[in-house]
């Protein structure tokens, strides 16, 4: 798959390019075109023209039909999408085939259903007051925001891109997407599928390139962009917010996390160990929802740590870090943890496979203990297959520790005490709290974080709310 831009219904590789490396063995895997400013301008112009033309005139029924066609197009080219996602990220094939690509299909189907079934509101009015009061019918219609920039990360490239593109299109916006420079391939395939689905020119545009100093930064500060939906690092969110400030551009932000898991002594321990291993090591910890802080009630602390260390040691078929740079960042935290006084109970280094993967960007699943809560390793997002486990004594302490973070994206509570689950879960300061499970997703539910983990909520009607604005019409009757 050769990455290409898609602007105003045409593919191009205009501009310079930079090399793409396979995270599996570090080999040269291709080249990513960097969209020059003129091409970003053209994409934004095309999106605006699309809104003024056929795409803007499409009814909600027609838009939803396009979304279903896009879902069908991904189904038809399922294996190509899986291959491309595996090639860019090195993730296990099973993950791409059971999570990433099915979720992309699910995202388009879900928003076709949700947008089509969405009611508008009416308020029959009979009030005294200004202008003599009187009877009126108020009704509220939602109109699209306009040209939406979608800027997405490398960790779940297709899933997170379509999670924004689908509701943005469903609500009637035109999109200019800028995927991560590390993972351009499935975005290009998506553009092909959208082209084959016959969306009017300008409705969807794709520009590749870097973030800071590249196409991403230029797009975020563009006067022609009416809203920005961004998923990525908190520091990048801050930079985008500054760029958006000049034009008062609304933003929806899904940012970083340092997610806690709280394991009570009454939990099904085997389930809690297995669930925590999954939540810390799946996709080598490169999911924003992954657990990096684990708090375990003291009576079961030793047994839990031993169980988790065993699972970490036995963890197989894991993918690499996305890049040499990210591998180095994660390894720098493995070193820092030791300097800060951690006990490394599992992992902590680089695995040796005896095959081409030894040239790749792998790190070992790692379990740490013994650090104070003030340690940088416990406070900063690492985004690798690593967690720190600490003991606690009672419910109050567990809630305090879980909430002692600048972030607040997701949390997991393990307990068999139903009352405790309902007491603790709402007190955890995170946008998503799972009880006795992790990453169990229903696309209608609100998704997002508090504090440094984001602004706003996506998912179901929450996404449709962000990607549209209500207009009230008051008719005297």
Task: Please report where in the chains the tokens 């997405």 appear, as a residue.
Answer: 152
Query: Between residues 23 and 26, which has the closer beta carbon with respect to ligand 6OD?
Result: 23
Query: Between residues 47 and 243, which has the closer beta carbon with respect to ligand NAD?
Result: 243
Helix (H, G, I), strand (E, B) or coil at 446: coil
441 binds ligand 6OD (CB under 6 A): yes
CA distance 56 to 63: 10
CA-wise closest residue to 166 among 252, 78, 105, 76 = 105
Residues forming the site for ligand NAD (CB under 6 A): 151-155, 160, 178-181, 210-212, 216-217, 220, 231-233, 236, 239-240, 254-257, 288, 381, 383, 409, 449, 453-454
108, 163, 204, 253: which one binds ligand 6OD (CB under 6 A): 163
108 binds ligand 6OD (CB under 6 A): no
CA distance 51 to 59: 12
Which listed residue (34, 182, 217, 254) is catalytic? 254
171 binds ligand 6OD (CB under 6 A): no
Contact letters for ligand 6OD, residues 276-315 (x by CB under 6 A): -----------xxx--------------------------
Query: Between residues 296 and 435, which has the closer beta carbon with respect to ligand 6OD?
Result: 435
CA distance 456 to 160: 16
Residue 161 C-beta: closest distance to ligand 6OD, Å: 11
Structure token pair of residue 358: 């030894």
155, 188, 259, 282: which one binds ligand 6OD (CB under 6 A): 155
162 binds ligand 6OD (CB under 6 A): no
Q: Which does 58 bind (CB under 5 to 8 A by kind): ligand 6OD, ligand NAD, none?
A: none
64 binds ligand 6OD (CB under 6 A): no
96 binds ligand 6OD (CB under 6 A): no
Residue 29 C-beta: closest distance to ligand NAD, Å: 17
In contact, 157 and 187? CB cutoff 8 Å: yes
Q: Which does 108 bind (CB under 5 to 8 A by kind): ligand NAD, ligand 6OD, none?
A: none
The residue of the chain with the least Cβ separation from ligand 6OD equals: 288
Residue 466 C-beta: closest distance to ligand 6OD, Å: 13
Query: Between residues 51 and 288, which has the closer beta carbon with respect to ligand 6OD?
Result: 288
427 binds ligand 6OD (CB under 6 A): no
CA distance 116 to 260: 37
Dihedral of CA 284/289/293/294: which sign?
Answer: negative
Neighbours of 462 (CB within 10 A): 18
Residue 81 C-beta: closest distance to ligand NAD, Å: 19
Q: Which does 163 bind (CB under 5 to 8 A by kind): ligand 6OD, ligand NAD, none?
A: ligand 6OD
Give the chain's radius of gyration (CA, Å): 24
Query: Between residues 163 and 218, which has the closer beta carbon with respect to ligand 6OD?
Result: 163
Helix (H, G, I), strand (E, B) or coil at 439: coil
Which listed residue (288, 364, 381, 387) is catalytic? 288
CA distance 459 to 443: 6
CA distance 235 to 175: 24
Query: Between residues 111 and 304, which has the closer beta carbon with respect to ligand NAD?
Result: 111
CA-wise closest residue to 329 among 279, 372, 286, 295 = 286
Q: Which does 333 bind (CB under 5 to 8 A by kind): ligand NAD, ligand 6OD, none?
A: none
Residue 77 C-beta: closest distance to ligand 6OD, Å: 22
Q: Is 288 a catalytic residue?
A: yes
**Residues in contact with 152: Cβ distance below 8 Å, sequence separation at least 6, in sequence order:** 160, 161, 164, 177, 178, 179, 180, 187, 230, 231, 232
Query: Between residues 144 and 448, which has the closer beta carbon with respect to ligand NAD?
Result: 448
Residue 334 C-beta: closest distance to ligand NAD, Å: 18
Cα separations in angstroms, 392 against 125, 164, 381: 56, 39, 22
Query: Between residues 172 and 179, which has the closer beta carbon with respect to ligand NAD?
Result: 179
183 binds ligand 6OD (CB under 6 A): no
Number of alpha carbons in the 13 Å side-chain half-sphere of residue 463: 33
In contact, 49 and 150? CB cutoff 8 Å: no
CA distance 169 to 151: 15
DSSP states along 232-261: S-HHHHHHHHHHHHTTT--EEEE----EEE
Active site residues: 254, 288
- Catalog residues that contact ligand 6OD under the rule CB under 6 A: 155-156, 160, 163, 287-289, 441, 447
């Amino acid at each position: 798959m050769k990455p290409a831009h898609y602007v105003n219904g045409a593919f191009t590789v205009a501009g310079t390019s930079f090399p793409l490396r396979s995270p599996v063995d570090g080999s040269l895997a291709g080249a990513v075109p960097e969209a020059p400013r003129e091409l970003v301008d053209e994409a934004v112009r095309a999106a605006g023209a699309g809104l003024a033309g056929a795409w803007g005139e499409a009814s909600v029924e027609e838009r939803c039909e396009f979304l279903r066609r896009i879902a069908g197009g991904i189904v038809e080219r399922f294996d190509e999408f899986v291959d491309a996602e595996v090639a860019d990220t090195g993730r296990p094939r099973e993950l791409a085939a059971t999570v990433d690509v099915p979720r992309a299909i699910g995202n388009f189907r879900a928003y076709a259903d949700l947008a089509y079934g969405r009611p508008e509101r009416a308020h029959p009015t009979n009030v005294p007051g200004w202008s003599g009061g009187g009877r009126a019918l108020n009704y509220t219609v939602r109109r699209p925001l306009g040209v939406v920039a979608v800027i997405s990360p490398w960790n779940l490239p297709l899933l997170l891109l379509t999670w924004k593109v689908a509701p943005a299109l469903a609500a009637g916006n035109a999109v200019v997407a800028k995927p991560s420079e590390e993972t351009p391939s499935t975005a290009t395939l998506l553009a092909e599928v959208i082209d084959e689905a016959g969306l009017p020119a300008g409705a969807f545009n794709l520009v590749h390139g870097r973030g800071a100093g590249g196409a991403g930064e230029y797009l975020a500060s563009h006067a022609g962009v009416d809203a920005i939906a961004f998923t990525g690092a908190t520091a990048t969110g801050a930079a985008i917010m500054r760029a958006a400030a000049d034009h008062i551009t609304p933003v929806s932000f899904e940012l970083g996390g340092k997610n806690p898991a709280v394991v009570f002594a009454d939990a099904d321990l085997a389930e809690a160990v297995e669930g925590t291993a999954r939540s810390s090591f799946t996709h080598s910890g490169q999911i924003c929802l992954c657990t990096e802080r684990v708090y375990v009630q003291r009576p079961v602390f030793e047994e839990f740590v031993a169980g988790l260390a065993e699972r970490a040691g036995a963890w197989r078929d894991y993918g690499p870090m996305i890049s040499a740079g990210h591998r180095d960042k994660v390894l720098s935290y493995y070193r820092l943890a030791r300097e800060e006084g951690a006990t490394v109970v599992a992992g902590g280094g680089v695995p040796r496979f005896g095959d081409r993967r030894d040239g790749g960007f792998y790190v070992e699943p790692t379990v740490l203990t013994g650090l104070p809560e003030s340690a940088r390793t416990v406070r900063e997002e690492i985004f690798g297959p690593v967690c720190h486990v600490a003991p606690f004594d009672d419910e109050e302490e567990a809630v305090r520790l879980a909430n002692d973070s600048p972030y607040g994206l997701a949390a997991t509570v393990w307990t068999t005490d139903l009352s405790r689950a309902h007491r603790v879960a709402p007190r955890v300061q995170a946008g998503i709290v799972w009880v006795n499970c992790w990453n169990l997703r229903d696309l209608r539910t609100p998704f997002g974080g508090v504090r440094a983990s984001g602004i706003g909520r996506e998912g179901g009607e929450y996404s449709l709310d962000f990607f549209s604005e209500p207009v009230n019409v008051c008719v005297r009757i």
